[in-house]
Amino acid sequence: MLNIQSGLKARRDFISNVFTYASSEQKLLYTKNHPLIFDPLITFALQQNSEQGNKAVVEMILKSKALVIDALASDKEISYCSEKKETTKLIESYTKSCSKISNMMISAQFNMNKSIQNKIEKLLHTRDSIEAEISLVCSVFEEQKDYNNLSIDELSQNIPDSAIFIDIIRYTPFNLLDSIPCANYVGYTLEQNGTIKLVKLGDAFKINSLVFKMRKKLHQSPTEVFSSRVKYSEKQLRETTNQLYKILVAPFKERLKGIKQIFISPDNVLNLIPFEILAQDNNRYLIEDYQISYLSSGREFLKFGNSNTANNLLAVIADPDFDYLNEYNKRMLRDNIDNDTLKFLNPLRSGDILDHGCIAQKFSPLQYTNIESKKLVTFYLEQNDKNRVLEFYKEDATEENLRKLSPPQILHISTHGFFCEESKQNSLTSPLLRSGLVLAGANHTTAESTSLNTRNDGFLTALEVTSLNLIGTDLVTLSACETGVGEVVNGEGVFGLRRAFQIAGAKTILMSLWKVPDKQTSDLMSLFYQNWFGGMSKQKSLREAALELLKNSRDSEGHGHPYLWGGFILAGNPN
C-alpha cells in the first residue's frame, strides 16, 4: 500500500512539473497517459474493505480528480490579475486566436475544405503555444497547491453542517484473469466528521444505458408533456430514474439520515443527469427531501471561503436579435450575395441541431427571455441602492459587448444554447467548439461573412468563453438549452460551456441539462432570483423555485413531470 501511494505521489509531482510547460490539450494528454487515479488500488480496497484501504482510495480521488480544470482556472486567474505587459499581451493573443478558430470552424462546418483545414490547424498550434507560454509565466507567481498533503480530515471540516459529499468515479477493475475487464462505477460518501463509506455501484455499461434511456425520454418530453400522455410519460420516466436511484443513491441511504444537503461530484455520463429528478422508492423525487449541488471535485469545498467577489454589477444579455445585420454583413448581402450564399439563410426549427450534427441555420426569438431579464433587473435594483446594471438586448446582445465587460457580480445570459454531437458530417472536432450560445446576428452568419467579421458572428463558442475575464463573478446563469451538456471525460467532467465558464473564473454556474421550455424557464428564473435576493443561498433558492413549479404543476395539471421543473442544476459554490 505504501509503495502504491509513493508511486502516485511521484506521478502527481511529475504531472505538476509537466503542467508548467503545457497547453490545455497537452495537460489532458499527460493525465490520460499517466492516470492519477490508479484502478488496481480501488479494486484492492473494495476486496479488502479495510479502513486503511478505503481511506487511501478516497485521498487518491480527492487529490487527483479534475486537476486539469483546476490548473487552467488558476492560470487564468493569475494572468488576468497580473499587471505585467507580457502577460496582458499573451491574454490578448489568446483571445484573438480563440475567436479566429471559433469563427472559422462555425462558418466552415458545412463546407470544410483542405485549405480551411490547414489554416485551422495552424491556428490551433498557435493557440496551444500561447497557452503553454501563459502556463509557464503564471507558474512563477502561482502559490503551489500542495494537494499531496491534503488530508480527508482537512477537507471534511469544510463540509457544511447537515451535509454530505458523494463522489463517484468510473474505473476498470483490475483482474489478471480477465482479458477484457468491464468498467464499473465506485462511489464514496464523506461526512463532516471525516467518516467515509466506499461502495462499488455496479457495471458502467448498465448504468450508462439507464442514463441514455432517461435522457431519451426527456428529449421526447416536449411532445408528451402538453398532451394526454403526460401522466404515462412521467410514470415511464420515474421507472427509469428509480432504477438509477437504487444504484447510485440507495447504497448510501443510511448515511443520509439527518442530511439536508447533498454535494455530488459525478463522473463520465453521470454529469448529464440532474440527481434531483431521481425517483425514490416512495415515489418522492430526490429534490423533495434534499438540496443538491454539484462539484468538479471535493477540493472545491476549500474554495467556498474565498471572499474575492466582483463589484456590485449585474450584466444581462438577453433576447438577441438573431436577424440583426452588422455593417460587414450588410455589405455582403448588398454587394455580392448570390444563391449559394442564400442557402445559409434557409429557415430551420428554432434552436435545433441538424440531423448531421451541425448547428441550425435559423433561430427564432424567445418570447420570455426579455420578460425574465427585466424582472431580474427589478429584483436586483430593489435589493441594494448601490447595485448597478448593464443591459444588452436585441442588436446589442453581441459577443463584443460581452467581451468588453469587467467581471460583474452576476452575469445572466438568456438565449438559445447549442451542443452538437461529434459526427462525420461536421468539422467541429473539439467539444469546446461544438457547444455555445447564440447571440445577435447569428441568422446572417455565412462562410463568407465570418472570414473577416471575427468579433460578432453571433455564435459564442465555449472556446471563446475560456478567454473571458470573469474572475470574482459570483454567479453565471445560462438561461438557455443544454448549457450543462458537453463531451464527458473521465475524471475531468464535462467539456463544454460549464467547463469554459469555470476556466473563465465564475464561482457558480446555473445551467440546463436538456432543451428547457421557454415559459417554465422564465418562471423558474424569476423565483430563483427572488429567493436568492431575499436571503436564501443559491442552492436553496433553486430548490425552492423548482419545488414551487412542481407543486403548481401537480395542483393545476395533475402531474409533476420533471421536464417542467428539473432541467437546471447548480455547479460550484452554493452559498
Residue 77: its pLDDT value, please?
A: 81
Q: How confident is the model at residue 328 (pLDDT cuts 50, 70, 90)?
A: very low
Residue 23: its pLDDT value, please?
A: 85
Among 60-69, 118-127, 155-164, where is mean pLDDT lowest?
118-127
Place of cell 484501504: 53
Residue range 482-504: mean pLDDT, rounded: 91
Cβ-contact 505, 76 below 8 angstroms:
yes
Q: Which residues of 92-130 are buried (b: 16+ CB within 10 A; e: fewer)?
A: ebbbbbbbbbbbbbbbbbbebeeebeeebeebbebbbeb
Residue of 234 and 418 predicted with greater confidence: 234
Per residue in 428-438, pLDDT (tens digit) is 567 888 889 99
Average pLDDT, the chain: 86
Which pTM value belongs to this model?
0.90
Q: What is the DSSP string of 152-190?
A: HHHHHTTSPTTEEEEEEEEE----TT-SSPPPEEEEEEE
Residue range 269-277: mean pLDDT, rounded: 97
Q: How far apart are CA 94 and CA 126, in angstroms?
A: 9
Residues with Cβ < 8 Å from 425, sequence gap 6 or more? 356, 357, 358
Residue 139: its pLDDT value, please?
A: 66
Q: How far apart are CA 448 and CA 324, in angstroms?
A: 17
Residue of 164 and 100 predicted with greater confidence: 164
Residue 10: its pLDDT value, please?
A: 77
Q: How far apart are CA 398 and CA 320, in angstroms?
A: 8
Residue range 2-27: mean pLDDT, rounded: 76
Residue 344: its pLDDT value, please?
A: 31
Residue range 460-480: mean pLDDT, rounded: 94
Place of cell 485551422: 120
Q: How far apart are CA 466 and CA 480, in angstroms?
A: 18
Per residue in 511-560, pLDDT (tens digit) is 999 989 889 999 999 999 999 999 999 999 999 999 999 999 999 999 99
Expressed in angstroms, the distance from the first to the final Cα of the chain is 38
Residue of 503 and 333 predicted with greater confidence: 503
Is residue 176 scored above 80 in pLDDT? no
Residue range 380-395: mean pLDDT, rounded: 94
Q: How far apart are CA 521 and CA 366, in angstroms?
A: 11
Percent pLDDT > 70 in the chain is 85
Is residue 146 scored above 80 in pLDDT? no
The β-bridge relationship of strands 508-512 and 475-479 is parallel
Place of cell 443559491: 538
Among 3-12, 76-85, 447-456, where is mean pLDDT lowest?
447-456
Residue range 149-158: mean pLDDT, rounded: 89
Residue of 419 and 179 predicted with greater confidence: 419
Among 248-252, 355-359, 482-486, where is mean pLDDT lowest?
355-359
Residue 151: its pLDDT value, please?
A: 87
Q: Work out the angle at residue 395's Cα, subtended by the Cα atoms of residues 102 and 101, and round it to the nearest 5 degrees.
A: 5
Cβ-contact 411, 473 below 8 angstroms:
yes
Residue range 2-8: mean pLDDT, rounded: 68
Among 99-113, 148-162, 331-345, where is mean pLDDT lowest?
331-345
Half-sphere exposure of residue 150: CA atoms within 13 angstroms, side-chain side: 24
Rg (CA), the chain: 23
Cβ-contact 93, 517 below 8 angstroms:
no
Cβ-contact 207, 248 below 8 angstroms:
yes
Half-sphere exposure of residue 538: CA atoms within 13 angstroms, side-chain side: 21
Q: How confident is the model at residue 138 (pLDDT cuts 50, 70, 90)?
A: confident
Cβ-contact 134, 91 below 8 angstroms:
yes
Residue of 240 and 311 predicted with greater confidence: 240
Q: How confident is the model at residue 17 (pLDDT cuts 50, 70, 90)?
A: confident
Residue range 188-206: mean pLDDT, rounded: 97
